[in-house]
Structure 1
Amino acid sequence: MAAVIGIYTAEKSGAPVGARDAVEVRRGCGIVGDRHFRPNGANAADQITLIEQEAVTAFNEAHGLSVAPWELRRNLVTEGIDLNALVGREFQVGAVRLRGIELCEPCATVGRLLQQPELSPTQVIKALMGKGGLRAEIVSTGVIRIGDAVCGSAAPAEV
């Protein structure tokens, strides 16, 4: 079963991310307490981000590193689901509906944070292209918890 295995938020842009057992999410606004939360409405692509544990593991194995999922600064870490397949589709995380907006490609900040003596920021970004996660819109208000099931939709989301 596909599930949420990690939840991370940061209060301010550039601030360290902290692990959470659960987060409140509000339709169209984001994650309460996260840097991208906007009570009057947030850009759909900034509301919540997800990344596959499998992508983090593959990155580490390919480069002999031990990068933790939270270092990629995504909100939800999932296991057992192809997030790239959810672009343009509605899906369920626990009792919350989300809509995949676009791939969450790594940025220069992530490149700099993950650089190693043998791996430059540009190489980090290149290695994670197409595997950096998913940006999603929050379609329904609720709570997302560690262990919540992630269920993909078989049909494209209504626009």
Structure 2
Amino acid sequence: MIQTDLPDGPARPVVRGLAACLSAVTEVPLGQLPAVEDLPVTHAVASWKSWLAGHGFGIVPIADPRSFQWAGWWIAVVERGASPRTDDDGRQVAVLAFGTPPGVVLSPQDPALLGRGTADLDVSSGYAVASLDPVLPGAQDQPPLTGVVELLAVAPRVAAPMRLVASARALAGRGLEGDRYADGSGTFSPRGAHRPGYELTLIAAEVVEELTAADAALTFTSTRRNVLTRGIDVNALVGRAFSLGEVRCRGLRLAEPCAHLERLHGPGLLRPLIHRGGLRADILTDGTITSGSRIRTEPATGAAR
């Protein structure tokens, strides 16, 4: 994502806002987007759709943007004021949203909306930019990675403060003993059948230190992750088996930030943690993890296609 301000020009404010959001998420400078002067929103989106198709992407209208959830970027149009609403009277504002639940990470027309959860806004329409070719990459040779567990933290219930612990008992298929996700009571704990990726979270100390330098209120515990690592690229653990001391785990996906984290910590945490919020992992074996435990990846055995 690149920072993009609201461009000048004769186009409707919401269309200029949409262009800024599209520029930010595609990282294509505004001047290289197709010109959409004097076009209504639907025609502007159609123009961008044709342009994106030439690059292997599409822009897809979201059927129910008020309840839309996915751990990625999407563009929302927010209504301000009472009806009647049109796309040229300044009442519509385009924002870029991210996370599950989603929060606003870019709002060129109205910066006051930054950090707000889309569930708290009057979202009238939304668009997702997605690849036209979803083929997954095959298995590749991956170098071994090592690191160390620096800190551990658990929270006994939803929204409770994270508590540092010297060691934690890992329970296969559940989580860390004493943590809300181990007993299925976390904010995002699956209801009903087990779903992968909700047992353990990790984040790199290097990321936390960088963000702390800019925001003294940020600490490891305010990220609400379980394991603080050092010396290892946690993003590179997605899809890989690894061990934390004697405990075997598998990295499932990035632990992207969301509006819930922003509400608990305060404004300003959502955007800096995009793609840097750590890792969601499953616990494969019981055992004890301690501060100082070594982190080691296991040899790759092939990837699913």
**Normalization by structure 2: what TM-score?**
0.46
Q: Deviations over 1:56-113 (max 9, x none)?
A: 112223x243511111000010110000000000001001100001100112122133
Q: What corresponds to 2:233 in structure 1?
A: 82
Q: What corresponds to 1:15 in structure 2?
A: 160
Structure 1 or 2, whichever has the larger Rg, is 2
C-alpha displacement of 1:54: 0.4
Q: What corresponds to 2:66 in structure 1?
A: none
C-alpha displacement of 1:152: 2.3
Q: Deviations over 1:87-142 (max 9, x none)?
A: 00000100110000110011212213333xxxxx3x42111101001000001110
C-alpha displacement of 1:156: 5.8
1:140 & 1:26 partners in 2: Cα distance?
7
Aligned pair partner of 2:219 in 38, 61, 68? 68
1:21 & 1:157 partners in 2: Cα distance?
35
Q: What corresponds to 2:201 in structure 1?
A: 49
Q: What corresponds to 1:111 in structure 2?
A: 262
After the TM superposition, list the runs of 4 or more consecutive aligned residues in structure 1 that deviate by more than 2 angstroms: 41-44, 63-66, 112-115, 156-159
2:237 & 2:291 partners in 1: Cα distance?
20
Unaligned runs of 5+ in 1: 116-120
Change beyond 3 A, Cα 1:42–1:29 = farther
2:197 & 2:169 partners in 1: Cα distance?
18
Aligned pair partner of 1:143 in 288, 298, 301? 288
Where 1:112 maps in the other structure, the secondary structure is helix
1:64 & 1:30 partners in 2: Cα distance?
30
1:157 & 1:24 partners in 2: Cα distance?
29
Where 2:197 maps in the other structure, the secondary structure is helix
Determine which structure has the larger strand proportion and give its number.
1
Task: Tell me the amino acid that sits aligned with residue 234 of structure 2.
Answer: L
1:106 & 1:156 partners in 2: Cα distance?
30
1:112 & 1:38 partners in 2: Cα distance?
23
Same amino acid, percent of matched pairs? 34
Report the RMSD for the aligned CA atoms in angstroms: 2.2
Q: What corresponds to 1:118 in structure 2?
A: none
C-alpha displacement of 1:157: 6.7
Change beyond 3 A, Cα 1:96–1:90 = same
Contact kept in structure 1, 2:212 and 2:219, CA below 8 Å: no
Change beyond 3 A, Cα 1:28–1:58 = same
Unaligned runs of 5+ in 2: 1-145, 185-192
Where 1:92 maps in the other structure, the secondary structure is strand
C-alpha displacement of 1:38: 3.5
Q: May I ask how many residue pairs the two structures share in their alignment?
A: 152
Task: Tell me the amino acid that sits aligned with residue 241 of structure 2.
Answer: E
Where 1:124 maps in the other structure, the secondary structure is coil
Task: Tell me the amino acid that sits aligned with residue 90 of structure 1.
Answer: A
1:154 & 1:139 partners in 2: Cα distance?
16
